[in-house]
Amino acid sequence: MKPLRKIIFPAAGMGTRFLPATKASPKEMLTIVDKPLIQYGVEEALAAGMEQIIMITGRGKRAIEDHFDISTELEANLKSAGKSKLYKEVSRVSRMAEVVYVRQKQALGLGHAVLCARHWVGDEAFGVALADELIVGPKPAMRQLSDVYHKTGNSVIGLIQVPADQVSKYGIVAYQAGEDGLLRLTDMVEKPAVEDAPSHMAIVGRYIFTPRLMELLHDVKPGAGGEFQLTDAIAALAKEEPIHGVVLEGQRFDAGNPEGFLMANTLLGLQHEQYGKALRQLLKDHL
Ligand code: G1P
């Protein structure tokens, strides 16, 4: 079985669903309670035992690099001001992971973004996570996938069941129940019309791939929306190797749009040790 140490975060998108908030700052840096979205993703990957983060960025994304970098001046200031809790947190974030940054020069699609990381991935298995999909629950979503990878050595995709009117927004899979109790994905299609969809089971932005996926991405032709689609390369992989589906436990939010973002903030706010009480009171007063 190939080692699983690396994970790609495609983060070059323009965040159009969240304008004007994302006009001058990356959507990955939008704050859920007290941390930027991308930090939730990185912490989830670390909790699954991954160590190397490959961030695919583009113009206007420097704030992500600064966030995970050591800020010598800030750390020195916090230390000398005796703000030891803040100092610890800031220095923890700067040192939590080894991060490399790869620029995607043109927005040619998710498949193209992932392919930009090929030299960093080499001949190893790797994860891919879309940070605006926030999955909240006791077991980190990437961990749910990596457990299956470590059992089988096969590619694994995170899934959720979506209502009919949402099907055309996602990659949708065809699947069978395997003898081992795992779902086996037989095909998938990107953003199908509901009448053409093989199921209502959607790909939800958490993936683990064997290295073969990168080779198949090379050959992908523009698909849905004229973009190089990751889903098309996964469909090709499904013809060659077993791919497992994991229906993710936990509550999932599409935090890349204002509604999902507000709901994620509310749930995590309510669960927060320090802010939960005041938020509960506020909601009580206004309901
Ligand atoms: C991407 C993938 C799609 C997946 C979705 C999950 O689409 O292409 O298969 O279902 O993420 O969020 P996007 O939302 O980037 O259009």
The CATH number that applies at residue 227 is: 3.90.550.10
Substitution candidate for ligand 1 out of 18, 37, 110 with most atoms within 8 A of CB: 110
Burial of 119 (0-12, 13-18, 19+ CB in 10 A): exposed
Residue 151 Cα to ligand 1 midpoint, Å, equals 26
Looking at the predicted structure, is the pLDDT value of residue 137 above 90?
yes
The band of 196, judged by pLDDT with boundaries at 50, 70 and 90, is very high
Residue 41 Cα to ligand 1 midpoint, Å, equals 16
Domain membership of residue 272 (yes or no) is: yes
Query: DSSP of 25-81, one letter per residue?
Result: S-GGG-EETTEEHHHHHHHHHHHTT--EEEEEE-TT-HHHHHHHS--HHHHHHHHHT
Looking at the predicted structure, is the pLDDT value of residue 258 above 90?
yes
Domain membership of residue 123 (yes or no) is: yes
Looking at the predicted structure, is the pLDDT value of residue 28 above 80?
yes
Looking at the predicted structure, is the pLDDT value of residue 181 above 90?
no
Domain membership of residue 250 (yes or no) is: yes
Range of the domain at 188: 6-286
Domain membership of residue 1 (yes or no) is: no
Structure tokens of 268? Answer: 């995590």
Substitution candidate for ligand 1 out of 9, 170, 200, 237 with most atoms within 8 A of CB: 170
Residue 146 Cα to ligand 1 midpoint, Å, equals 20
What whole-number distance in Å separates Cα of residue 67 and Cα of residue 69? 6
Residue 16 Cα to ligand 1 midpoint, Å, equals 14
Looking at the predicted structure, is the pLDDT value of residue 178 above 90?
no
Cβ < 6 Å from ligand 1: which residues?
Answer: 110, 130, 133, 170-171, 190, 202-205, 229-231
Radius of gyration in angstroms for the set of CA atoms belonging to the chain, rounded to a whole number: 19
Domain membership of residue 120 (yes or no) is: yes
Please state the domain count of the chain. 1
Ligand 1 atom nearest 205 alpha carbon: 6
The answer to whether the pTM exceeds 0.85 is yes
**H/E/C letters for each residue in 227-267?**
CCCHHHHHHHHHCCCCEEEEECCCEEEECCCHHHHHHHHHH
Cα of 282 vs its chain's centroid, Å: 31
The pLDDT, as a whole number, for residue 222 is 93
Furthest-apart CA pair in the chain: how many Å?
63
Query: Could you report the per-residue pLDDT of 164-173, keeping only the tens digit for each?
Result: 999 999 999 9
The pLDDT, as a whole number, for residue 202 is 98
Query: Could you report the per-residue pLDDT of 66-124, keeping only the tens digit for each?
Result: 999 999 999 999 999 999 999 999 999 999 999 999 999 999 999 999 999 999 999 99
Domain membership of residue 12 (yes or no) is: yes
Alpha carbons within 13 A on the beta-carbon side of 257? 5
The pLDDT, as a whole number, for residue 91 is 93
Q: Which residues of 197-222 are buried (b: 16+ CB within 10 A; e: fewer)?
A: bbebbbbbbbbbbbebbbebbeebee
Using DSSP bridges, classify how beta strands 243-247 and 183-190 pair: parallel, antiparallel or unpaired: antiparallel
Domain membership of residue 247 (yes or no) is: yes
